[in-house]
Each structure stands twice: as structure tokens, then as C-alpha cells.
Structure 1
């Protein structure tokens, strides 16, 4: 048998729910602009950009080489895959892995990320947990199992309370991860206010910090281009065009109507 339904005071909406929403939202806006002020342009390696463009050209040749004549395809393939003078065979890059502990720019970026993302979340979350602790503020419109109680009822240890009720501390974390659409609408897609996206970037930052090995990329692209055989897609395009029954009358009538009106 279901327990008695809780009735919340309307003052909770005005003095707990809305303040948490506004505080979380404006902290995200401030975080976005502070991140822009502290943002520093990363140095772009000209050699790395050149290698990426070469790989892109080779990939385009593999995918769209059927639209150029055989001789043109063979010349481009010779430039990339020749056994003696080919780009992928001749060019060897020296890969020097960077140590994150000795790279000052990487350490500076990590400090800026902690300053603008981690520290505000800890401070604001702790203050909200202290100022609004013990409040039951809302209820989700569907039943939940008891496994959701630790997530939705942080700071409230009541075994008899239904799992659908949400505490003030959990409401703050729901706003942190739930205001993404509002930030995208106001600040655009590429914004620094979305805390969930920032956490994902921090989790993948270590993997992105390691530069890829261009020699392995050259080898794999050489193997992919080597097995490609040219088959010109426009070989019989003249015969196919002449064999079609082209209805020019309909075309000229539509053109005449568009000029009249």
C-alpha cells in the first residue's frame, strides 16, 4: 500500500528551487566568459598540418579517383606510392613524445581548467549543500526503484521516502548536467559553460595529448592506396548522354513561364 503523499510548501519553489536554477545557470555563463579570457591559442605545428593535408589528399584520391582519367590517377598514385620517390616511402618523421609533467603549456592549461571548472563546482556545490540542505523540492513524474535514492536524495537519509522525490543537493547536480540546451541556445554549440562537456574533455585530454605517429599513418595510407584499382566512372558518359531521350520542350516551357512571371 502506498504511503501518504507529501505536500510541499510553495515557498520552497521561490526560495530553493528557482535560486538553485539561477545560481547554476549564471555560474555557467560566468565560467564561459572567464574561460574565454584565460584561453590561449595553441601553437600549430606546420609539419603536422602538412602531413594531415597529405593524408587527406590521398584519402580523397582513393574515394574519388574514379572521376579522373587513368593517367591522372596513375600520376597521383605514383607521387604517393612510388617505391623510391613516393611521399609515403621517402618521408620519415621523427616522433618525440611530450612529457605532460615537463610541458609548461600543458600544465598551465590544466591549472586554468581546474580554476574555471573544478573549483567553482566544488565551491558552489558545497555552499548549496550547506544553505539548502535537508530540503525535498520536487518529484519526478514517474516511479523509480530504490537504486535511485542515493542519486536523487543526497543529504536526506529517509528509508520511508519514495525514490521519486529529489533533494536540493541532487537538484543542483541535475541542473549542472541539464542546462546544456540553454547554454547552447544562448552561447552557441561551442561554449565553455557546459560542465558535462568539460568533464568529458578532461577525461579524454590525456589521450589527445599524445601526438599520433605520422609514420604509422603513412604506412596504413600507402597500403590502402596500393590496393586501389582505377575504374573510370565517366568512360561511356557520352554514349549514355546521347542515348537518353531528352525532353527539351518541357525545359523551355518552364523557362518561359519563369521569365514571364
Structure 2
């Protein structure tokens, strides 16, 4: 015998489902603009700017070196890759990993991230769990196994309830991670309202906090430039231009006819 279908009151849609959606959405919008206000500009040192410009110059030389004479290409390549005193050989940078003990701005940024990301999620989630506790809000349009009950039915202790039903607390967390497309449509791709992206950045924050290894970048660029040979793209440009049929005579005749008429 099949279990009777559970019917929800329409007031649940008006007073539980939609308010949770609106609250989650507007909290994300507020978090985005608060993060912009609290965001601190990361200033680069003169050495970092200089190193990045050197890498750009070397890459441009590899890509567009065919448009300059061979002697000019070899001169620039010698400046970068000279085995004795080339820039990539003699330049060694000291990489110092950032530490909250030596860099107060790093600790400040961590506190700002907790205030704008973690704290609102805890407060709003706790308030929703307390205010809308015990409500069944919606149902997913496909059957699920019992393993999904702890995830979709937080705050509801009904063993006989189908696993497809979603509680109010679980509905809030689904909105936290499900409004990404709407935030991207309104605020753009790089926004601070997407809680899932913020959590992913926090998980990989330790790896991202490590500075780029400039010495490794210099070595990689040295190897790439060392394998680059000069092939002048304008070597046979005169022959190619003379070989083309440009139809100068026909063009002059057409201009003469148009001027007569």
C-alpha cells in the first residue's frame, strides 16, 4: 500500500519558502558591497613590478622576434640568456612567505573575511533555523534514497517522511549555494555574494597566500627563450610583393572611367 501524498499549505510558500529566498539573496548582495568597502588594495613592490615587466618583454620577444632583424633578436636574447651575466642567470630573488606575525595586513584581511562571510552565514542560518524550525518547504522533482535525509531534512525527525522533501534549514543552505547564477547575472563574474566561491577560496587560501616563485618563473622563461630560434618573417617580402598580381592597370582604368562620367 502506497503512502498518502503529503500536501503543503499555500501559506508555507508565502511565509517560509519565498522569505528564505529573499533573505538569502539580499544578504548576499549586502555582503558583496560590504566586501568592496572593506577591501584593501594590495600594493606591489617596485621589484615585483620590474620582474613582471621583464617576463613580459621576454615573452613578447619570443612571440614577435620574427619581425625584427636577426642581429636585434640575438642582442635581446643575449641580454636575457647570456650564460655568464644574463638577466635570468644572475638575478636571484628571495622569496619570503607571508606570515601574520610579520604582516599585520594579512591578519586584518583574515578578520575582514570572517566578518563578511562566516559571521553572516552563522547568524542568518541560526535565525532561520530558529524562526522556521520544523517546516517542510518543498520537494525535489525526483526520488532520492534515505542517505539524503540528513542533508535535505535538517531539523525534522520523521523517519517515515520521503527523502525528497526539503526542510526549511536545508532550503536555506540550498539557496546559499544555488543563487550563484543570479549573483553572476546581476553583479558580474567576480562577486563576493557567491558564498560557495568564497568558501572555495577560503579552502585554497593557504596555497593562494604563498607568493609566486620568481626564480622558477625566470628559469622557465630562460628555457623557453633558449629554444626559440630567429626566423625573420620579412625575409622574402620583396619577392612576395612582386609576385602578387595587384591589377594596378585595371584599377587606374576604373578610376578614369568614373572621373569621365
Q: TM-score, normalised by structure 1?
A: 0.87
**Who is 2:185 aligned against?**
185
Gaps of 5+ in 1: 254-261
Q: Secondary structure at the match of 2:142?
A: coil
**Who is 1:158 aligned against?**
158
Counterpart Cα distance in 1 of 2:49 and 2:57 = 12
Counterpart Cα distance in 1 of 2:144 and 2:65 = 56
Larger Rg: 2
Gaps of 5+ in 2: 255-261
Using the TM superposition, name which of 192-201 and 229-238 deviates more: 229-238
**Who is 1:226 aligned against?**
226
Counterpart Cα distance in 2 of 1:151 and 1:217 = 45
For the structure 1 residues 101 and 150, does the alpha-carbon distance in structure 2 shift closer, same or farther, using more than 3 Å as the test?
Answer: farther
- How far is the alpha carbon of 1:22 from its aligned partner? 0.9
Q: Deviations over 1:125-147 (max 9, x none)?
A: 01111111111111122223333
- How far is the alpha carbon of 1:30 from its aligned partner? 1.4
- How far is the alpha carbon of 1:149 from its aligned partner? 2.3
For the structure 1 residues 246 and 170, does the alpha-carbon distance in structure 2 shift closer, same or farther, using more than 3 Å as the test?
Answer: farther
Counterpart Cα distance in 2 of 1:156 and 1:192 = 32
**Who is 2:149 aligned against?**
149
Q: CA RMSD in A?
A: 2.3
**Who is 2:175 aligned against?**
175
Counterpart Cα distance in 1 of 2:159 and 2:234 = 74
**Who is 2:129 aligned against?**
129
**Who is 1:72 aligned against?**
72
Using the TM superposition, name which of 222-231 and 183-192 deviates more: 183-192
- How far is the alpha carbon of 1:90 from its aligned partner? 2.2
- How far is the alpha carbon of 1:205 from its aligned partner? 1.7
Q: TM-score, normalised by structure 2?
A: 0.87
Matched, 1:239 2:243: no
For the structure 1 residues 150 and 234, does the alpha-carbon distance in structure 2 shift closer, same or farther, using more than 3 Å as the test?
Answer: farther
* Equivalences for residues 17-28 of structure 1 within 5 A: 17-28=17-28
Q: Deviations over 1:11-42 (max 9, x none)?
A: 00000001101111111111122222222222
Counterpart Cα distance in 2 of 1:247 and 1:145 = 76
Using the TM superposition, name which of 111-120 and 181-190 deviates more: 181-190
Counterpart Cα distance in 2 of 1:246 and 1:178 = 60
* Equivalences for residues 1-261 of structure 1 within 5 A: 2-246=2-246
Q: Deviations over 1:124-173 (max 9, x none)?
A: 00111111111111112222333322222222233332222211111101
